Amino acid sequence: MLRQVSEDCPSKLGLFRRVYSSQASPREAIKAQCLACCWMDVPAIRERTATQCTLWEFRPFVGPKGKAGR
């Protein structure tokens, strides 16, 4: 996974290294999971409608109460 991230989105490599070395905060781990699910597509994370995802209400890159913009 780290090799793929380094090739496709090197700016996110530090985040994924922290996650895989168990040094990430819970918020960083959620961010990495969302990025991996949507393959680094931040607008796709903002627009997700998959409310059945257990992390949906904790999605990064959205404003207060799920409003896009943060």
Structure tokens, 43: 């607008």
Name the E strands within 1-65. none
Please give the share of the chain, as a percent, with pLDDT higher than 90.
Answer: 66
CA pair distance 19, 31, nearest whole angstrom: 10
pTM value is 0.81
Domain residues of the chain, as ranges?
A: 2-58
pLDDT, tens digit, 9 for 90 and up, residues 28-37: 999 999 999 9
Q: Could you give the 3-state DSSP secondary structure of residue 38?
A: coil
| CB 50 within 8 Å of CB 56 | yes
| CB 24 within 8 Å of CB 18 | yes
